[in-house]
Amino acid sequence: MGSELIYRGHESQPAADAYSPKPGKPWLRVTRPFRYLLREQRLAFVLLGVVIATVFFTFLPSSPKAVTEGYGYYPALQDSMATSRVSSAMMTNWGGSGKVPLGLKRKGLRVLVTGGAGFVGSHLVDRLIARGDSVIVVDNFFTGRKENVVHHFGNPRFEMIRHDVVEPLLVEVDQIYHLACPASPVHYKFNPVKTIKTNVVGTLNMLGLAKRIGARFLLTSTSEVYGDPLQHPQVETYWGNVNPIGVRSCYDEGKRVAETLTMDYHRGAGVEVRIARIFNTYGPRMCIDDGRVVSNFVAQALRKEPMTVYGDGKQTRSFQFVSDLVEGLMRLMEGEHVGPFNLGNPGEFTMLELAEVVKETIDPNARIEFRPNTEDDPHKRKPDITRAKELLGWEPKVSLRKGLPLMVTDFRQRIFGDHIEEAATTTTKSSLD
């Protein structure tokens, strides 16, 4: 009774001590995955997946430019730098190299502009923001003003850091435009030790940053590196005639050292660099009363003061409108050549001729007052821009007679507080073409 309910399974099981597992066939373990794949067209699906992945990664957009970029006038560097260039291009920025995971693809570049609250820097910032980039301005406001960039406040693609480039800085960007340095004689002579520190230590810091984060670095050097030139017009291959112990040396020699450092980081550490040698530039947002001749003449003529001409007024300068310079700087940064490149307007004016144009634009009755020339003031300055024309496809477009009225409008407003339309102070291309 109840015998059916009693579990008898153990009776059919072999005794534990009698158990001996059947030896497996080892070749079965190897072939099992293949047999699995071959069943039910699984192989076809695997192959299809491989084909799709290959097509996808082949056509995923990437910019080979950063990787294949050249070294300007230093072709010998091409090979030796190739390795570091490739690795830095791969490791770094999304600014144009490497494949960025889907969904993380950036829209614009991340750009650091040192001295971005200054005259040239603020116009550069306008163009970069308009292009869709994200811009970080670093400035200690020695000569720069928040007013120059205030129209970007609140824009999520704009950041401003009060910082002195003499101190180290760490930010993640794709490109560094290094402009921080007082540019007018009044300002750079004010504290010459600080000026040379800014040029040397500040440039070292920014180059170190570029190396660390793999950013491309552009130095805004100056025509002053040619000193009082013995060659006219000045070509980039000219080494200059500079007084190393004069009152302007903190600036001239400071920029020469900055160029040296830039090339040494390029040759020694594979940093992607660009060097611009800027000639006299003018336009809205220049510092008033900064001792630079165009701003001096305009401010004096507006205030009905005599225009001060140093020496006999026959020394020449070339004057470039700021929008032309910004275009040149951006082409240089995006291009394939290290430089240095002269960026200036070859149209040459004597100081007396400039005074005449200012008179025509502001006040035909404006007077001229002669004063003794300042020490080390170069007699002639005119850029040879053949190299920039050929390799960057750049040349200035705005004549003095067209650019000066835009600057006068801005100065008039700042000196007298006139109401003017915002459009008059900005240098959109449309206003100048």
Ligand X SMILES: NC(=O)c1ccc[n+]([C@@H]2O[C@H](COP(=O)([O-])OP(=O)(O)OC[C@H]3O[C@@H](n4cnc5c(N)ncnc54)[C@H](O)[C@@H]3O)[C@@H](O)[C@H]2O)c1
Residues with active-site annotation: 251
Residue with smaller CB distance to ligand X, 110 or 255: 255
Which residues would be at the binding site for ligand X (CB under 6 A)?
A: 114-115, 117-121, 139-144, 164-166, 179-183, 198, 202, 220, 222, 278, 280-281, 287
Q: Where are the beta strands (DSSP E) in 223-315?
A: 273-278, 281-282, 307-310
356, two tokens: 């005449």
Helix (H, G, I), strand (E, B) or coil at 216: strand
294 within 8 A of 280, measured Cβ to Cβ: yes
Q: In the structure encoding, which two tokens stand for residue 344, read together?
A: 């200036």
Structure tokens at 305: 């003061």
292 contacts 356 by C-beta, under 8 angstroms: no
What does each C-alpha distance from 205 to 78, 98, 148, 340 come to in angstroms?
Answer: 25, 26, 25, 20
- Least distance to ligand X, CB of residue 85, Å: 26
* Number of Cα atoms under 13 Å in the Cβ half of residue 245: 0
Q: Which is nearer to ligand X, 343 or 408 (CB)?
A: 343
C-beta of 71 vs 297, nearer to ligand X: 297
| Tokens 């390029």, residue located | 266
First to last CA, the chain: 112
User: Is 101 strand, coil or helix?
Assistant: coil
Q: How far is the CB of 51 from ligand X (least distance, A)?
A: 53
The smaller minimum CB distance to ligand X, of residues 143 and 315, is found at 143
Query: How many residues appear in the chain?
Result: 433
Tokens of 312: 């006999």
Helix (H) or strand (E) holding 57: helix 42-59
Nearer to ligand X, 97 or 140 (CB): 140
Cβ proximity to ligand X: between 118 and 339 the closer is 118
- Residue 287 Cβ, how far from ligand X at the closest point, in Å? 6
β-strand partners of 295: none
DSSP strand pairing (175-178 vs 216-222): parallel
